[in-house]
């Protein structure tokens, strides 16, 4: 017996999955969810083995929802059309179903999942999310979890990012938020004309810089509008100068 959750914003799209699931008595449908927030709650509550997940949904996308889960279950994506997402699936997903799909195709996806179930690693899901984040829509905002609340930060509100062990501290006017990602991930997914890796442990939003002062020998420090000071290494100074056109 495996537990299943469906997350899709269209009722009919959920009902077709429910219908196809009837042929698989070993799969038990725990809940149907209409958006990512509901999905998050349901996943915490039921700890499903498999979820069917749409990508384009209100408020937060399917990818953003997955990013907020510490140990995501296996995922079969169901989507109509998303060229970036499809690239990501081809590389990393268990399987993906392009709407509309028939029972046969659905059964195949389930079979594939059952076969891989034992050796699906968290790493694969992580890789999928990393490559999905490279699509343009994903680089416009960052979704973080703040206690039980979910916070959507538009990237232009981000002042700077700071490495902190396995996490990255995302500094905004309202304080900082933690995200379980690497600096390299953010360096790649954020717009390089706006976000510059000024230091091994810092990425700075150039739109928030008011001035850059010298600091000790060879080093500089960027002063932000908020008053925050961000270290700038020698190579970081070169990158900053290039982006700022100095």
Partner 1 sequence: MVADNAMVLNFFGLPWKAAIIDSAISNTLLLLACLLVMNTLRYYLPRGKQYINIFSICLFLTIIWLLLAKLLLRIALNHYPGYADLLHHSLSIRFSIAFLLLGCVTMISILWYNQQEQKEMNERKIDAEKLAKEAELFKLRQQLQPHFLFNSLNSINALIGSRPEEARKMVQQLSDFLRGTIKKEETQWVTLQEELQYLQLYLDIEKVRFGNRLATEIEVDENIKQLKLPALILQPIVENAIKFGLYDTTGNTVIRLFATKEGDNLVIKVLNPFDPETSSPKQGTGFGLKSVQRRLYLLFARTDLLTTHGKENIFTTIVKIPQVQ
**Distance in angstroms (rounded) separating the CA atoms of residues 89 and 82:** 11
Q: Do residues 242 and 198 make contact, with C-beta atoms less than 8 angstroms apart?
A: no
Check residue 104 for interaction with partner 1 (CB under 8 A). Answer: no
Report the nearest approach of partner 1 to the CB of residue 198 (Å). 27
Report the nearest approach of partner 1 to the CB of residue 161 (Å). 21
Check residue 81 for interaction with partner 1 (CB under 8 A). Answer: yes
| Identified binder of partner 1 from the candidate list 23, 44, 47, 59, rule CB under 8 A | 59
Helices (H), 47-145: 62-67, 83-92, 103-116, 122-132
SS3 of residue 187 by DSSP: helix
| Identified binder of partner 1 from the candidate list 44, 45, 90, 99, rule CB under 8 A | 99
| Identified binder of partner 1 from the candidate list 91, 111, 152, 244, rule CB under 8 A | 152
115 CB burial (10 A radius; 0-12, 13-18, 19+): exposed
**Distance in angstroms (rounded) separating the CA atoms of residues 231 and 213:** 10
Report the nearest approach of partner 1 to the CB of residue 94 (Å). 20
| Identified binder of partner 1 from the candidate list 2, 24, 28, 35, rule CB under 8 A | 35
Listed in sequence order, the residues at least 6 apart from 22 whose beta carbon sits closer than 8 Å to its beta carbon are: none
Check residue 98 for interaction with partner 1 (CB under 8 A). Answer: yes
Nearer to partner 1, 35 or 127 (CB): 35
**Candidates 14-22, 23-31, 183-191, 196-204; binding stretch for partner 1 (CB under 8 A):** 14-22
**Distance in angstroms (rounded) separating the CA atoms of residues 60 and 40:** 11
| Identified binder of partner 1 from the candidate list 23, 80, 210, 234, rule CB under 8 A | 80
As beta bridge partners, residue 195 has 205
Question: Where does this chain bind partner 1 (CB under 8 A)?
Answer: 9-13, 15-16, 19, 34-35, 37, 56, 58-60, 80-82, 98-102, 141, 152
């Amino acid at each position: 017996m495996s537990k299943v959750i469906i997350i899709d914003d269209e009722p009919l799209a959920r009902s077709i999955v429910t219908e196809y699931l009837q042929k698989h008595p070993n799969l038990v449908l725990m809940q149907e969810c209409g958006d990512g927030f509901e999905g998050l709650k349901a996943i915490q509550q039921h700890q499903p083995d498999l979820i069917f997940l749409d990508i384009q949904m209100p408020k937060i996308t399917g990818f953003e929802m997955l990013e907020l889960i510490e140990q995501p279950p296996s995922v079969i994506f169901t989507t109509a059309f998303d060229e970036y997402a499809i690239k990501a699936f081809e590389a990393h997903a268990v399987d993906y179903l392009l709407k509309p799909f028939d029972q046969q195709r659905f059964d195949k996806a389930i079979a594939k999942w059952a076969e891989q179930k034992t050796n699906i690693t968290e790493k694969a899901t992580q890789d999928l999310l990393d490559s999905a984040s490279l699509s343009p829509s994903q680089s416009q905002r960052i979704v973080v979890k703040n206690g039980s609340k979910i916070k959507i930060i538009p990237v232009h509100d981000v002042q700077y990012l700071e490495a902190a062990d396995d996490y990255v501290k995302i500094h905004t006017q309202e304080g900082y938020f933690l995200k379980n990602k690497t600096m390299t991930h953010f360096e790649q997914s954020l717009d390089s004309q706006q976000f510059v890796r000024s230091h091994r442990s810092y990425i700075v939003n150039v739109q928030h810089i008011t001035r850059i002062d010298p600091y000790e020998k060879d080093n500089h420090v960027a002063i932000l509008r908020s008053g925050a000071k961000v270290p700038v290494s020698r190579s970081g100074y070169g990158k900053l100068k290039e982006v700022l056109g100095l």
